[in-house]
Amino acid sequence: MSKLNTSAGFRAAASSRILDLSWQAFGTGMLGAIVGFLGSFAVVLQGLRAAGANEAQAISGLIVLSLGMGLSGIILALRYRMPIGVAWSTPGAALLIASGDTLNSVNEAIGAYVASALLLILAGWFRPLGRLIEAIPASLANAMLAGVLLSICLAPIEALASDAWLAVPVLMTWWLVGHFNRFFAVPAALMVLMPVVVWRLGIPEGFAEQVQASLVPHVEFIKPVFELQAMVSIGIPLFVVTMASQNVPGVAVLRASGYQPKAGPLIINTGLFSLLTSPFGAHGINLAAITAAMFCSPDAHTDPARRYWSAAFAGMAYLVLGALAGLTGLFVTMVPGVLVEAIAGLALLGSFSSAIVAALSDLKQREASAVTFLFAASGLTFLGVGGAFWGLLIGAVMFIVITFRDTR
């Protein structure tokens, strides 16, 4: 009887999830995956190269990163029915760019990736850390989110200053389409982007041959070498920046949007996928913050209980993007980076507006929220950790002091 009940319960749960499907979630998930992939593709690729990977190994890392975060995101979203976004560690890639010269070989880098993944699993299993993350006040979480999004939302203005001929058609398309349907404004801008780039910059020589060669995905196993110096200089800092700049904000974004996930299982999941993909060149998989803000927004669905499908669809899109990583990389190299960032800024403008309003709505905690916002928006890096973490930490101290004072 228990087996029959279990089977019936599984079928009921599956049917319930199917009923939660929506075109809104599909569109937001696809857009989030594209923005997430294109927005930091070049940084990740450069980081893998800086760690000693050759071109084939770097593409291998990019492929397994995409596949890993796709599978991880699908599992988390459908398991917990929350819009839990998963991404690669962009701050980790930046760390590799800055510190890759401390490595003697790509094999040492793989050993450092494995060490970082094991530390992530340990951090997810250690409950006090999970409780600490879950205790973040909503006003501070929104302030941190707004700070993280500020520089990205300024990118459209920077694109105008960089190349108005490329930026104006994209921004005008977004503005005009948004007057009729806000949901289709950013996808329309993306559709205009590629032909404008081709018109303005042209097609490079030998492009057809490059496309043909990039259609075949290549994954390469790289034997890890566990060198103490590499694990200290790369492995531990990679773990710290991934936790502080990605996992902590990722959980905070969910909390700011009204969801109450337990941080431990989410971090363990991404740590396990980091461990599985690291021998193939992947430096780290973690919870997303910026794209998660898109999945948590009303654009994903008016009903918050049905927004989780946007994260699941994003995971499916990452699987496709991973299989086509070589081809995607070829096209992305044609687009100026400032335009890719501009598209991301347009997509996140609504999330930024909501976050800044929510962050400053509590008069008693407004000062703590403002400090958190300024630190997160500053781009500060101290001890290898980004401003979002330091802002959250200092804001939390101010929050505790103010709450204690008011209680007394």
pLDDT (average), residues 310-314: 94
In this structure, is residue 53 part of a structural domain? yes
Lookup: tokens for 25: 């979630």
Q: What is the pLDDT of residues 167-199, one digit of tens each?
A: 888 888 888 887 776 666 777 777 777 777 777
Residues 6+ apart with CB under 8 A from 402: 364, 365, 367, 368
Virtual torsion, Cα 317, 323, 324, 326, nearest 10 deg: 130
Domain that residue 55 falls in:
22-349
Is the pLDDT assigned to residue 340 strictly greater than 70?
no
Residue 157 lies in a domain: yes
Rounded alpha-carbon distances, angstroms, from residue 38 to 90, 316, 340: 12, 16, 7
Q: Percent of the chain, pLDDT > 70?
A: 82
Q: Does some domain include residue 12?
A: no
The answer to whether residue 95 scores a pLDDT higher than 60 is yes
pTM of the model: 0.70
Helix count and strand count (H, E) for the chain? 22, 4
Question: Does some domain include residue 324?
Answer: yes
Q: CB count, 10 Å around CB of 382?
A: 10
Q: What is the pLDDT of residue 49?
A: 82
Q: Does 244 score more than 90 pLDDT?
A: no
DSSP string, 163-175: -HHHHHHHHHHHH
Could you tell me the two tokens for 318?
């990452």
Q: What is the residue whose two structure tokens read 């796709």?
A: 70
| pLDDT confidence band for 153 (50 / 70 / 90) | confident
Distance of CA 327 to the CA centre of its chain: 21
Q: What is the pLDDT of residues 248-284, one digit of tens each?
A: 888 888 988 889 888 889 999 999 999 999 999 999 9
Domain membership flag for residue 398: no
The residues, ordered by sequence, that sit 6+ positions from 219 with a Cβ below 8 Å of its Cβ are: 60, 63, 64, 280
- Mean pLDDT within 23-31: 87
E-state strands within 13-159: 86-88
Q: CA-based Rg of the chain, rounded to a whole angstrom?
A: 21
Domain count, the chain: 1
Res. 343: pLDDT tops 80: no
| Mean pLDDT to the nearest integer, 10-19 | 67
Residue 388 lies in a domain: no
Residue 378 domain flag: no
Least confident of 112-116, 138-142, 337-341: 337-341
Look at residue 353 in the predicted model and tell me its pLDDT.
81
pLDDT digits (tens, 9 = 90+) for 122-133: 888 887 765 665
Residue in the block written with tokens 């057809």: 208
Pairing of strands 86-88, 285-287: antiparallel
For residue 134, which of 266, 274, 306, 305 has the smallest C-alpha distance? Answer: 266
Taking CA atoms, 345 is separated from 158, 184, 338, in Å, by 11, 15, 10
357, containing H or E segment: helix 349-359
- Confirm whether 339 is domain-assigned: yes
As a whole number, mean pLDDT of residues 198-219 equals: 71
